[in-house]
A and B are shown apart, each in its own frame.
Chain A
Amino acid sequence: MAVEVRIPTILRTYTGGAKAVSASGSSLRELIDDLEAQHAGLRDRLVDDKGLRRFVNVYLNDEDVRFLGGLDTPVSDGDAVTILPAVAGGSRA
């Protein structure tokens, strides 16, 4: 099975510059483990000890996975996953 994962500019250092990579897994958690096996260091940018990092958005097809099952979101062959860092900031410390 294969899922296309679109990689944002800031994470392309882990994929040798690739804007999109292929990975497999039946859940987002497994998919991220597979991404880590192929591109070491990538998982730590997506996941912390509480789960998906707060300011990294991961989408399965058109939906933010926070509204699906988070790391337990089922993933199927032919799905597309998009990773976009949050665009955020502000004057607060």
Chain B
Amino acid sequence: MIVLAKDVYDAMVAHARRDHPDEACGVVAGPEGSDRAERFVAMVNAARSPTFYEFDSGDLLRLYRDMDDRGEVPVVIYHSHTATEAYPSRTDISYASEPEAHYVLVSTADPLVESVRSFRIVDGVVTEEEVHVVPTLDPKTP
């Protein structure tokens, strides 16, 4: 299961709709080991394509250095599919390189209906999980 605060969920959908018909992409970072998707970071799709996304290599380095400085990892890696379902494609599976991330897909194929689904992709195996949207993430226990 992936727990998403409503503002983060809305930000992912808004980003996907804004970049449609190109695929949108980004991460939601959180403290290493916490599995908390706390900090939304929209990324530029350097491919600017309706069927492919890729983080620019310079942006990627800056993102990972920033997360490292903050003690964070990419808890969620999200992207959109603009004409197909919110399910990982063979391309998504073959390039999934963060075994601990939740891969969130947003489909913008239907302008009236949002579709947001989440998956683990580990060693080429896709497992769907529930998306649980909450008003805010629970405060961390001290």
B51 to chain A, nearest CB (A): 4
Chain A residue numbers with a CB within 8 Å of B52 are 88-92
Do the beta carbons of A91 and B61 come within 8 Å of each other? no
Q: Give the bracket for the number of chain B residues in contact with chain A.
A: 20 to 34
Do the beta carbons of A55 and B98 come within 8 Å of each other? no
Instruction: Name the one of B55, B77, B97 contacting A10, with C-beta atoms under 8 angstroms.
Output: B97
Do the beta carbons of B25 and A87 come within 8 Å of each other? yes
Interface string of A24-37 (1 = CB under 8 A from B): 00000000000000
Closest to B64 in A: A84
Closest to B52 in A: A90
Tell me whether chain B's interface is mostly helix, strand or loop, or mixed.
mixed
Instruction: Name the one of A59, A86, A91, A93 contacting B23, with C-beta atoms under 8 angstroms.
Output: A91
Closest to B55 in A: A87
Q: Give the distance in Å from the alpha carbon of A87 to the alpha carbon of B27 in the complex.
A: 10
Total residue contacts A-B, CB cutoff 8 A: 88
Q: Give the bracket for the number of chain A residues in contact with chain B.
A: 20 to 34
Determine if A9 is an interface residue (Cβ-Cβ < 8 Å): yes
Do the beta carbons of A90 and B51 come within 8 Å of each other? yes
Do the beta carbons of A93 and B91 come within 8 Å of each other? yes
A79 to chain B, nearest CB (A): 15
Do the beta carbons of A87 and B60 come within 8 Å of each other? yes
Determine if B90 is an interface residue (Cβ-Cβ < 8 Å): yes
B4-12, B79-87, B110-118, B131-139: which lies at the interface: B79-87
Do the beta carbons of B84 and A8 come within 8 Å of each other? no
Determine if B1 is an interface residue (Cβ-Cβ < 8 Å): no
Do the beta carbons of B97 and A8 come within 8 Å of each other? yes
Cross-chain pairs A/B with CB under 8 angstroms, 13 sampled: A62-B61, A64-B57, A66-B57, A85-B95, A85-B97, A87-B74, A88-B47, A88-B54, A89-B52, A90-B23, A90-B91, A92-B51, A93-B90
